[in-house]
Amino acid sequence: MARADEAGGGLLGRVTSRVTGALDLNEILSGIDLNELLDRLDLDRVLARIDVASLIDRIDINALMERVDVDALIARVNVDEVV
């Protein structure tokens, strides 16, 4: 696949970029029960892998905060490990 990508002048990279740019993360998030999702995730492990700055740039934080039980989220995150 790498050779096909090189031969296409980075076609795979361009397609991936267009698909990623076309995703409406707010629309995707609106269809997810975020509280149920948070209950199922190992948040410490997930947070360690997320590029938080990039994520914040792509999500409407105000819309997200309206849907998340912030107190429950704070209770689940070990702040000492995140910082």
pLDDT, residue 5, reads 46
User: Can you give the pLDDT at residue 56?
Assistant: 76
Q: DSSP for 60-76, please give it.
A: -HHHHHHHS-HHHHHHH
**Distance of alpha carbon 64 from alpha carbon 35, whole angstroms:** 11
Q: What DSSP character marks residue 78?
A: -
Place of tokens 């849907």: 67
pTM for this prediction: 0.23
**Residue 40: per-residue pLDDT:** 84
pLDDT for the residue 26: 77
Q: Which two tokens stand for residue 36?
A: 């149920």
Per-residue pLDDT, 21: 67
pLDDT means per 10 residues in the chain (83 residues)?
52 70 74 81 80 80 81 80 63
